[in-house]
Structure 1
Amino acid sequence: MLELNQCYNMDCMKGMAQFPDGFFDLAVVDPPYFSGPERRGYYGSKVSKIGVYRDYPVSPVWEIPGRAYFDELRRVAKHYIVWGCNYFSYEFASGRIVWDKCKKGTSFSDCELAATDLFNTVRLFRFMWNGMLQGKSVAEGHIMQGNKKLNEQRIHPTQKPVALYDWIFQNYAAPGCRVLDTHLGSGSSRIAAYEAGVDFIGFEIDPIYYAAEEQRFLDYTSQTSLFHLT
């Protein structure tokens, strides 16, 4: 069985197969629900006054998961939060989380939806996420971060903010819980898991995104270690 608090460059189906039923307390996943970035080359690259903030490589393994994936996810995890649930043909539980990106007036979605079996109601989290416009914190996500140099660097076309996962783990996971992310992407979930003290495993099949996530996590933990020592 794979070790906890590690991330792996491998197919998540092969990874999940190594764990017994109900091993994870919670799966928080953001599987791809559309095909496109891998065919358009560098997706949304832009240069600003503080440098390049979007530079996404082509992924040759961008595959939309089917029923077998969700069945396996429910086998290994006692509970789940699945982003993009409205795009999949699958019988999810009735609970919903709405992430309000505070970005009205664009051609992109104002919100993203997640299905969950943690509750049967609807919960709302507001955090600005529109290019260089990013929220200040979990508590003040609707207010723009004033110093854009402190923004999260965007390294993945469907990257989600660390603050979103901070909020999830603060509300729905306790220290020591075992958490799974099958599509690690930029590694935002891993950073939040590190801060929340949960036992985490992540899978990322694309070697380029995996390497970028590993470097991002190394940079983050190196900085926080120095901060904690001062």
Structure 2
Amino acid sequence: MSGWINQVFCEDALTGLARIPDGSVDLILTDPPYNLGKDYGNASDRQSVDAYLAWTEQWIDAALPKLKPNGSLYIFLTWRFSPEIFVMLKKRMAMMNEIIWDRRVPSMGGSVRSFSSVHDTIGFFVNRKDYYFDLDAVRIPYDAATKKARSRSIFVGAKWLEVGYNPKDLWSVSRLHREHPERADHPTQKPLEIIERMVKASCPPGGVVLDPFMGSGTTALAARRCGRNFVGFELNSEYCAIIDSRLAGPAPEPVRKAAKRKAASPLATANQE
């Protein structure tokens, strides 16, 4: 286990996944290219529809065996391809949620020939019925006014009132603006708030989170901050340097600083997290 744990390898995930033992990962959390023409330093986001879907099926079939029997998967997608990819995953796993991430895009600009797209789609899938899920770790506290309104005797001692409510499947979290303190030099970086919610809910403390497309390293950083281990891959060497920089600070045990990476493969695809 020490040969791959808490490392982000600068290589093609389709090649690198072979270094991870089957049945060793608690959670796959990933934000693969959406195939919308973004520049990730290669042509990974500029494939034909057929090629993109075939490649998606290829990496899914390489990654899923790494999950433990009670493991889970979260995948960020665009509405343009989520129907096809959800069907693909439904043939392999059980779908628990379609989560809508409202990016809080300002109400200006956008298309004049269709409604403006202001959300990303997230699929939550599990291997079997006894999958790990810690709701209490991600409950949202009620405000004082709500608690006061529920002060009648029938609510006294109610656990849900004290620990908060279950997050709904619509997550309204602002995208990272250029001036945001979390922001790294990556075009589609995801907020830590979202990634940490997934990690806390679906990976046990000390467990392992796998991200085949690390991008700016948000998954690795979230795992470290939450006391989980991580492993992942990223093709773009510039993004690998960003990940090293973000992980350079002290981390709680048993997480260790990411090790030196191998040279990038010219065939891989970069991520957009």
TM-score with structure 1 setting the length:
0.71
Structure 1 CA distance, aligned partners of 2:117 and 2:223?
A: 27
Letter in 2 for 1:110: V
Runs of 4+ more than 4 Å apart = none
Structure 2 CA distance, aligned partners of 1:103 and 1:25?
A: 33
Q: Is the 8 A contact 1:10 1:203 kept in 2?
A: yes
Q: Is the 8 A contact 2:184 2:242 kept in 1?
A: no
Residue 101 of structure 1 aligns with which residue?
103
Counting only pairs closer than 5 Å after superposition, residues 194-213 of structure 1 correspond to structure 2 as 194-213=224-243
Letter in 2 for 1:129: R
Residue 173 of structure 2 aligns with which residue?
127
**Pick aligned residue for 1:80 from 42, 66, 73:** 73
Q: Is the 8 A contact 2:72 2:202 kept in 1?
A: no
Residue 59 of structure 1 aligns with which residue?
41
Q: CA deviation at 1:192?
A: 0.8
Counting only pairs closer than 5 Å after superposition, residues 1-230 of structure 1 correspond to structure 2 as 2-38=3-39, 59-60=41-42, 62=44, 64=52, 65-77=55-67, 78-84=71-77, 86=79, 87=81, 89-90=84-85, 91-92=88-89, 93-95=94-96, 96-106=98-108, 107=110, 109-118=117-126, 123-129=169-175, 131-132=177-178, 151-218=181-248, 221=249
Q: CA deviation at 1:216?
A: 2.3
Structure 2 CA distance, aligned partners of 1:215 and 1:12?
A: 21
Q: CA deviation at 1:66?
A: 2.5
Letter in 2 for 1:62: S
Q: Report the secondary structure of 1:156's partner residue.
A: coil
Flag structure 1 segments of 5+ consecutive residues without an equivalent: 39-57, 133-147, 225-230
Q: Is the 8 A contact 2:8 2:231 kept in 1?
A: yes
1:70-129 deviations in Å (ceiling 9; x for gaps): 111212123211110642533224332222212252536322111121499x72322111
Q: CA deviation at 1:21?
A: 2.5
Letter in 2 for 1:73: A
The count of residues paired between Structure 1 and Structure 2 equals 186
Letter in 2 for 1:71: D
Q: Report the secondary structure of 1:192's partner residue.
A: helix
Structure whose alpha-carbon radius of gyration is higher:
2
Q: Report the secondary structure of 1:117's partner residue.
A: strand
Q: Is the 8 A contact 2:177 2:183 kept in 1?
A: no
Letter in 2 for 1:81: Y
The more displaced of 105-114 and 204-213 is 105-114
Residue 143 of structure 1 aligns with which residue?
none
Q: Report the secondary structure of 2:19's partner residue.
A: coil
1:140-168 deviations in Å (ceiling 9; x for gaps): xxxxxxxx5x6222311111111111111
Q: Is the 8 A contact 1:61 1:205 kept in 2?
A: no
Residue 41 of structure 1 aligns with which residue?
none
Q: Is the 8 A contact 1:100 1:128 kept in 2?
A: yes
Flag structure 2 segments of 5+ consecutive residues without an equivalent: 46-51, 111-115, 130-167, 253-273
Structure 1 CA distance, aligned partners of 2:102 and 2:43?
A: 29
Q: CA deviation at 1:18?
A: 2.0
Q: Indicate the RMSD between aligned Cα atoms, in angstroms.
A: 2.7
The more displaced of 151-160 and 177-186 is 151-160
